Structure 1
Amino acid sequence: MEKQLAARLEMKRISIAFPGVQALSGVDFAAEGGRAHALIGANGAGKSTLMKVLAGAYGHYTGTIHIDGQEAPIRTPKDAKRHGVQIVYQEVDTALIPNLTVAENIMLERTVHDMKGRQWINWGELHRSAQAVLERMNVQVPTRKLVQELTLAEKQMVLIARSMTLDCRFLVLDEPTAPLSQAETEQLFKLVRLLKAEGVGVIFISHRLPELYEICEDITIMRDGKLVVRDEIARIPQPKVVEHMLGAKLDGQFPQAERTVGDIGFEAKNITDPGKVDGVNLAVRAGEIIGLAGLVGAGKTELCRALFGASPSATGDIIVRGRKLRVGSPHDAVRGGLALVPEERRREGVFVGESVGDNLTAAVLSRFAAWGSWLSRKKEKAAAAEMIASLGIKTPSERSLVRNLSGGNQQKVAIGKWLLADADVYIFDEPTKGVDVGAKRDIYELVAGLAARGKCVLYASSELPELLGLTDRMYVMYDGTIRKELVTKDTSEEEILLYSTGGMAK
């Protein structure tokens, strides 16, 4: 890509409202080509909404957008792309076509544009063009592979590659590193540096502060739909950033309450899912929080799905409170006292097109059924309202659609559904992915509260600080197997990483 003149983007007095909520109130935002700009704030602060305005996803805003001093009337995604604005959303599966190949997904928009007046596609040229983009990004993904066969990290890279096929002056990355390993994150950063060198402006939304300080020159902090601070990132210490985000200092991120640990309440024996999980054995005591550590691709998600009956090919024994279960499906798992909060909350954890109340009560509808058939909407609404209040879910009402909530509040809904179900075993798969520091603390409190009630908790995460701050013991996974069992108070990040990468102690 040839060097282009660095552009300047200005968004002035941007306001937008949705039913029951004022999402943005007179926000000013500016970014420069050739620089990376961190856009952060607590969940619900309005940062993703602001970028969706820029990307043309929300056209009913007030205010103006200017590029290089000229007004850019962006009201649709097509308008945004015409002005050189590209966005890669956090929920990658919503933007990809699973039954098309990698090349077809990467070249999708270019193909649609080039097909005007043509009757055929040069498939060889399409794959060569896609391969060239991937090679420039240093991404090793076969162009003829179906997207549905890719890992989450690979799907993320395919989306970024697609944005590179069109004229791009400003690239918005919404939580791009959430599904990536450390090596994949470093690969992404190399690409960001390349784009900056070519004059592209990168707007980087992330809750991982250290990586923002590594890759960004500028920072904008939002809170409650308003601009709080805009400055060069090197001028603001990390603790001050958190304070600006929350409006208060963050004290004691991890719960310190003592818990009473009882007998073994959950056992998994010889769990095997061909090509994914190989002979895993683990046990969780009542009142214990057990971590499941490992890098991206280690098999944590696959193990969680196998334990919950979500993989038909999985075998092995599941024992809850001394009783062996037949877990052939998620329905069997729920009946046996298991609950899973999955990694992909929008695709598997919540019904985004349904209300908050309907989501919260979905797993326990029989509790509100009169005479075995008729639902008592009054009881259902009361239970949902109580859960909304106890979890601090920010929503205008229980009737609001889940798709309109922030990521952190969606995650609280996904957890709250299972709190109402009162399961014996709670399995959490990356529950704080894409969640701000304030919402993370709320989730930690919820998890610790479950353990305090004597529940068995299995907590899968690639975030080492939260495993060290929250768990009692942990199993470290590598290549679909348990590499090591560790007592949390006696281990360190270095030891966890050693086993996560397949190493063994001397």
Structure 2
Amino acid sequence: MGRPVMTSISPSTMAAVRRSGAVPNAEFLLAAEGIRKEFPGVLALDDVSFRLKRGSVHALMGENGAGKSTLMKILAGIYTPDQGEVTLRGVPIRLQSPLDALENGIAMIHQELNLMPYMTVAENIWIRREPRNRLGFVNHGEMHRMTADLFKRLRIDIDPEIEVRHLSVASRQMVEIAKAVSYESDVLIMDEPTSALTETEVGHLFSIIRDLRSHGIGIVYITHKMNELFEISDEFSVFRDGRYIGTHAASDVTRDDIIKMMVGREITQMFPKEDVAIGDVVLSVKNLTLKGVFENVSFDVRAGEIMGVAGLVGSGRSNVAETIFGVTPASSGTIDLYGKRVDIKSPAVAIQNHMAFLTEDRKDTGCLLILDILQNMQVAVLHDRFVKGGFVQESAVEKACEDMAKRLRVKTPGLFERIENLSGGNQQKVLIGRWLLTNPRILILDEPTRGIDVGAKAEIHRIVTEFAKAGVAVLMISSEMPEVLGMSDRIMVMHEGKVTGFLDRSEATQVKVMELASR
């Protein structure tokens, strides 16, 4: 059967056709009632309800494993519910696939980006919908024009012809957003859309969301960031342990009210930073340079010190961390560990010198997705700590991993569950546990709480503080200003590959950090 020419009918006309079968003046654009979904060993959703109004932003809150993403995947046609009913524009509907959802006007932007790296931006956006010429071949000129028009509408400055693999994580996120908008959907689901965006980019995204809302589109917004909830959402719903807790107008509650609904308890201190004794210099970096990326980066980190690293996307923060850990050897400069010059040619050398590195991108450079939790967590310690006489002490390493999983509150049926089946936040906890098991003396954390719920954030901050109290030197890169200001003894700020300044905890403010980050 031949494929249709997608340019013969506009997306807006397709949306009108979809709406033609809707119940007039239906109270809710999208609704789910009595939804139950069970996976082997896990009841993910238990009698859950959710209702989205047309022309509103509805935030979905809850800890990792609360069931938010599972429900959204049901609404996006990825999962089929075991029980319950979904109605769209007042009409009961059963979605069989993501394509089925798209054709019915539901688009989802996933937390883990799903673009094709070796295809162009335009090809990614219009895949399966490419404009065709009279001979049936893809009309690349028309596709470029369509992408340029879409980007102009959304005020996105990205070359439609560049391959996605050359884009930053933030730019890929904007491409995903543009792709979802291109479907002219009535319902747009956004799962942690700002996790890789700077404050400026977040402001840009929010302007796009407000424009979409003004055109009657219903937006489901999943986030762990409280400030975003109050800035962009009209109402919110909270899930906990797979159950629906409640829905409220964003204007009716406080941040503490929401946290208590999410975790079932009060969290008294998000940033449990303590004054600890600062020891000798443990890590000393002098004039470190990676040609074309960053140059002449110099700093010291002392035992017990937490040094935050701030800067906008493209400032070179993550590249510096990767070079220190041996992922990308430096072009020039020196690294001293514990007072001795060390040539860190590979991560193996870094690990041998008691360094640990949590990478920014858990999907591409962190998780071994086809392996289970135990295998992912133990991979950094099998060469040393749990090996005697050339044999792995399997019971000891399993016990250590189990204890670490409990300590970090990883929600899973067990250690033998494949890590790809966990939520993004629980995957992050496993990776943090991997490195904490090594008992490092230098801990490099690149976006340690990205995609982590508020309860787990407080727990991770507490654990980082414990390591600092034990004399571990911590280098913490974060795009979240409250985290940098709340956890750091000192802050190093970067801009376009250069260090622009240092701020002590007592003098650091958001304004001062941003001034240095935008020089």
TM-score by length of 1: 0.94
What is the CA–CA distance in structure 2 between the aligned matches of 1:313 and 1:264, rounded to whole Å?
A: 21
Contact 1:306–1:314, Cα closer than 8 Å, also in 2? no
Cα distance, 1:424 vs. partner?
1.9
1:395 aligns with 2:416: no
Of 349, 355, 379, 1:332 maps to 349
1:454 aligns with 2:475: no
Cα distance, 1:432 vs. partner?
1.0
1:102 aligns with 2:121: yes
2:92 is aligned with what amino acid?
E
Residue in 2 that maps onto 1:193: 210
| Per-residue deviation, residues 81-135 of structure 1 (Å, max 9, x unmatched) | 121110001112xx11111111111111322xx6699641111111111111111
What is the CA–CA distance in structure 2 between the aligned matches of 1:475 and 1:185, rounded to whole Å?
A: 23
| Per-residue deviation, residues 170-193 of structure 1 (Å, max 9, x unmatched) | 000111111111221111111111
The 3-state SS of whatever aligns with 1:243 is: helix
Cα distance, 1:256 vs. partner?
4.3
1:432 aligns with 2:449: yes
Count of aligned residue pairs for this structure pair: 497
What is the CA–CA distance in structure 1 between the aligned matches of 2:337 and 2:262, rounded to whole Å?
A: 41
What is the CA–CA distance in structure 1 between the aligned matches of 2:82 and 2:496, rounded to whole Å?
A: 48
Give the 5 Å matches for 1:247-286: 247-286=264-303
Give the 5 Å matches for 1:68-83: 68-83=89-104
| Per-residue deviation, residues 409-446 of structure 1 (Å, max 9, x unmatched) | 22221111111112221100111112121111011011
Cα distance, 1:244 vs. partner?
0.8
Give the 5 Å matches for 1:403-482: 403-482=420-499
2:345 is aligned with what amino acid?
G
1:362 aligns with 2:379: yes
Q: Which runs of 4+ in 1 moved over 6 A?
A: 3-7, 115-118
Contact 1:110–1:165, Cα closer than 8 Å, also in 2? no
The alignment yields a C-alpha RMSD, in angstroms, of 2.0
Cα distance, 1:19 vs. partner?
1.7
Cα distance, 1:167 vs. partner?
3.8
| Per-residue deviation, residues 20-65 of structure 1 (Å, max 9, x unmatched) | 1111101000102211111111111111111011111112532111
What is the CA–CA distance in structure 1 between the aligned matches of 2:477 and 2:250, rounded to whole Å?
A: 32
Cα distance, 1:200 vs. partner?
1.2
Residue in 1 that maps onto 2:221: 204
Cα distance, 1:332 vs. partner?
2.1
Of 123, 126, 136, 2:140 maps to 123
Range that drifts further, 44-53 or 463-472: 463-472
Alpha-carbon spacing, 1:96–1:314, altered in 2? closer, same or farther (3 Å): farther
Range that drifts further, 312-321 or 233-242: 312-321
The 3-state SS of whatever aligns with 1:228 is: strand
Cα distance, 1:370 vs. partner?
5.0
Residue in 1 that maps onto 2:179: 162
Any stretches of 5+ residues in structure 1 without a counterpart?
none
1:371 aligns with 2:389: yes
What is the CA–CA distance in structure 1 between the aligned matches of 2:313 and 2:246, rounded to whole Å?
A: 34
What is the CA–CA distance in structure 1 between the aligned matches of 2:495 and 2:57, rounded to whole Å?
A: 34
| Per-residue deviation, residues 275-311 of structure 1 (Å, max 9, x unmatched) | 2211100110011111111122222111111211112
Give the 5 Å matches for 1:35-46: 35-46=56-67
Contact 1:292–1:458, Cα closer than 8 Å, also in 2? yes
What is the CA–CA distance in structure 1 between the aligned matches of 2:32 and 2:329, rounded to whole Å?
A: 50
1:16 aligns with 2:37: yes
| Per-residue deviation, residues 375-427 of structure 1 (Å, max 9, x unmatched) | 34323322211222333322221111222223332222111111111222110
1:67 aligns with 2:100: no
The 3-state SS of whatever aligns with 1:317 is: strand
Residue in 2 that maps onto 1:173: 190
1:382 aligns with 2:394: no
TM-score by length of 2: 0.92
Cα distance, 1:344 vs. partner?
1.0
Cα distance, 1:314 vs. partner?
4.4
1:134 aligns with 2:155: no
Cα distance, 1:313 vs. partner?
5.6
1:345 is aligned with what amino acid?
R
The 3-state SS of whatever aligns with 1:131 is: helix
What is the CA–CA distance in structure 2 between the aligned matches of 1:80 and 1:117, rounded to whole Å?
A: 29
Residue in 1 that maps onto 2:367: 350
| Per-residue deviation, residues 445-486 of structure 1 (Å, max 9, x unmatched) | 111111111111101112221222211111111111111111
1:146 aligns with 2:163: yes
Cα distance, 1:168 vs. partner?
0.6
The 3-state SS of whatever aligns with 1:110 is: coil
Alpha-carbon spacing, 1:269–1:72, altered in 2? closer, same or farther (3 Å): same
The 3-state SS of whatever aligns with 1:252 is: coil
1:486 is aligned with what amino acid?
L
Contact 1:320–1:337, Cα closer than 8 Å, also in 2? no
Contact 2:55–2:218, Cα closer than 8 Å, also in 1? yes
What is the CA–CA distance in structure 1 between the aligned matches of 2:82 and 2:147, rounded to whole Å?
A: 36
What is the CA–CA distance in structure 2 between the aligned matches of 1:250 and 1:441, rounded to whole Å?
A: 8
The 3-state SS of whatever aligns with 1:108 is: coil
The 3-state SS of whatever aligns with 1:254 is: coil
Of all paired residues, the percent bearing the same amino acid is: 36
